[in-house]
């Protein structure tokens, strides 16, 4: 594809000035409209070293309102960023609804280097490509416009630009040994780039290759592309609430998982105390091993109201080193979180290598509370099954151990605990009107839970259902499950 491009195209200065003035006004107008409509825009600049990414990004942002965009340079991850999943540093740079994020280099930069230099196994690189495609689709499904530019120049043009930069002491630093190494391997990178463009050129995030020998020609092409993509998005009719996307139809989940549980399982107090102390001590030892081997651990707690999640979490973390874990309580999203993809507030809270994060409720609220209460459309919660599985798969590919608990009690036990909370002063804060309303929708929630367990229990992130009528039994089972998961990973 690249060798067919006409790199000799030029634009005269007078023509350039006339068209660019009109394009700048149009782009500024579209920025305001996209902001009003709450449409996020992600613009990615990739290309050869010395292709002019910085200059062209500057040309693009000059007519924009600076309060509505942010430019990110993502060439090299920091030491801190390397402790997180590959996409973590990009998750943190996703624009709010109505805002623009410009990436000077992106996830594709690292993938190219690792494929060419063979720093990582091909199977791992291929899997990361699939993770990236899934990530871009998730953003697009959420309403984002994704525009990807690759700036193309010939090997001779790159060599000429390197020489010019190196002649001037004030710019010589910009040509690094890595740049020269990639230039020497131009043919290898050329083939890898063509493969990358073909593999990641999708309908929701297409590539635009920009012939970048002439700055004026490249600038106009970039402006026209951005304007065309925004205008196309603005003319699309929003999906009606409840519309199911194509290829996302789901059959009914069999209501049999929860009904088969034996909720009568119990444990004697003396046995519970002996086992609790021993297992907490063992877990503390395993926490240290996780840290030494840089393995992140993600523990998710979901369950019925009053099923004992808080007490279970306290016993799980009671003997851990507080510097190595964090408990993240999840409530309704705040105003800032509502202005991002619904997974954003979870993406940004994932543990770094060697640390533990416990989520008290989680991303599964999309397919339970939000689904049952109508806080999201049918299309959104149905799409979430795939998005959640993709996110957890990416975390697992990074090496994370993932443990997911569903704590189940029956209606009789729940009512007993609700009344106890009302009666005991130090527990009254735990009971709310919302808990009583949720109880009235027990069957609806049970159906949602059945489907959630069926569709999101995967080999790398399986669900463990904890029979929780007896809190002591539930706490020991949870500890056993986490210990087993860590030992398996180690």
The pLDDT of 118-132, averaged and rounded, is: 81
**Residue 184's CB: how many other CB atoms inside 10 A?**
11
Encoded tokens for 418: 């609700």
Query: What is the C-alpha to C-alpha distance for residues 292 and 294, in angstroms, rounded to an integer?
Result: 6
- The answer to which of 276-280, 395-399, 417-421 has the lowest mean pLDDT is 417-421
Give every CB contact of residue 255 below 8 A, 6+ residues apart in sequence. 446, 447, 450
Of 220 and 117, the structure prediction assigns the larger pLDDT to: 220
Q: pLDDT value at position 75?
A: 67
Tokens 């590919």 found at: 397
State the pLDDT confidence band at 39, using cuts at 50, 70 and 90.
very high
- The answer to which of 277-281, 299-303, 338-342, 431-435 has the lowest mean pLDDT is 431-435
Q: pLDDT value at position 238?
A: 62
Measured N-to-C along each axis, helices 378-398 and 122-141 cross at an angle, to the nearest 10 degrees, of 160
User: Could you give the domains of the chain?
Assistant: 2-235 (3.40.50.300), 258-489 (3.40.50.300)
Q: pLDDT value at position 118?
A: 67
- Backbone phi, psi, residue 222, to 5°: -65, -45
CA distances for 435 relative to 23, 34, 307, 421, 480, angstroms: 55, 39, 12, 11, 29
Percent of the chain at pLDDT above 90?
Answer: 81
Q: Residue 117 pLDDT > 80, yes or no?
A: no
Tokens 């993938």 found at: 111
Query: What is the C-alpha to C-alpha distance for residues 380 and 363, in angstroms, rounded to an integer?
Result: 13
State the pLDDT confidence band at 51, using cuts at 50, 70 and 90.
very high
Please give the full DSSP string across 289-310, using - where no structure is assigned: HHHHTT--EEEEEEESTTSSHH
Q: pLDDT value at position 465?
A: 97
State the pLDDT confidence band at 167, using cuts at 50, 70 and 90.
very high
For residue 407, the surrounding DSSP H or E stretch is strand 401-408
The pLDDT of 94-120, averaged and rounded, is: 86
Q: pLDDT value at position 248?
A: 40
pTM over 0.85: yes
Q: Is the dihedral of CA 198, 200, 202, 207 positive or negative?
A: negative
Between strands 41-47 and 145-152, the pairing is parallel
Q: pLDDT value at position 393?
A: 95
The pLDDT of 75-84, averaged and rounded, is: 86
State the pLDDT confidence band at 113, using cuts at 50, 70 and 90.
confident
Query: What is the C-alpha to C-alpha distance for residues 207 and 56, in angstroms, rounded to an integer?
Result: 16
State the pLDDT confidence band at 254, using cuts at 50, 70 and 90.
low
Q: pLDDT value at position 255?
A: 55
The pLDDT of 124-132, averaged and rounded, is: 87
The pLDDT of 451-464, averaged and rounded, is: 95
Mean predicted lDDT score pLDDT of the chain: 92
């Amino acid at each position: 594809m690249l060798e067919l491009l006409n790199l000799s195209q030029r634009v005269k200065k007078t023509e350039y000035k006339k068209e660019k003035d009109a394009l700048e006004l149009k782009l500024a107008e579209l920025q305001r409209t996209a902001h009003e409509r709450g449409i996020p825009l992600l613009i990615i600049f990739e290309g050869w070293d010395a292709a002019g990414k910085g200059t062209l990004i500057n040309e693009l942002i000059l007519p924009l309102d600076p309060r509505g965009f942010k430019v990110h340079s993502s060439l090299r991850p920091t030491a801190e960023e390397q402790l997180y999943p590959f996409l973590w540093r990009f998750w943190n740079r996703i624009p709010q609804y109505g805002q623009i994020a410009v990436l000077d280099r992106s996830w594709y930069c690292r993938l190219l280097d690792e494929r060419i230099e063979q720093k990582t196994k091909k199977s791992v690189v291929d899997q990361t490509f699939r993770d990236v495609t899934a990530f871009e689709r998730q953003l697009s499904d959420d309403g984002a416009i994704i525009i990807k530019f690759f700036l193309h120049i010939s090997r001779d043009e790159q060599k000429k630009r390197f020489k010019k930069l190196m002649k001037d002491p004030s710019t010589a630093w910009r040509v690094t040994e890595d740049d020269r190494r990639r230039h020497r391997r131009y043919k290898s990178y050329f083939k890898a780039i063509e493969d990358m463009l073909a593999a990641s050129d999708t309908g929701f995030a297409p590539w635009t290759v920009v012939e970048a020998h002439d700055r004026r020609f490249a600038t106009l092409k970039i402006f026209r592309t951005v304007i065309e993509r925004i205008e196309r998005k603005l003319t699309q009719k929003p999906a009606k609430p409840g519309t199911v996307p194509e290829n996302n139809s789901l059959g009914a989940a069999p209501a049999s998982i929860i009904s088969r549980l034996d909720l009568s399982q119990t444990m004697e107090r003396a046995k519970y105390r002996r086992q609790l102390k021993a297992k907490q001590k063992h877990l503390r030892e395993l926490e240290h091993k996780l840290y030494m081997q840089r393995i992140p651990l993600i523990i998710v707690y979901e369950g019925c109201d009053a099923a004992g999640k808080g007490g279970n979490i306290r016993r799980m973390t009671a003997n851990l080193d507080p510097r190595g874990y964090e408990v993240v309580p999840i409530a309704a999203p705040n105003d800032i979180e509502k202005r991002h993809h619904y997974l954003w507030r979870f993406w940004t809270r994932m543990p770094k290598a060697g640390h533990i994060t416990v989520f008290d409720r989680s991303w599964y609220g999309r397919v339970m509370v939000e689904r049952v209460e109508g806080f999201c459309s049918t299309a959104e919660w149905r799409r979430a099954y795939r998005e959640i599985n993709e996110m957890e798969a990416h975390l697992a590919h990074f090496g994370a151990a993932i443990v997911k608990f569903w704590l189940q009690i029956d209606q009789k036990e729940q009512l007993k605990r609700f009344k106890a909370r009302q009666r005991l002063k130090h527990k009254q804060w735990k009971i709310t009107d919302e808990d009583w309303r949720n109880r009235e929708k027990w069957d609806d929630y049970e159906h949602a839970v059945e489907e959630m367990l069926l569709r999101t229990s995967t080999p790398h992130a399986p669900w463990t259902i904890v029979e929780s009528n007896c809190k002591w039994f539930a706490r020991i089972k949870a500890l056993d499950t986490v210990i087993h998961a860590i030992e398996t990973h180690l």
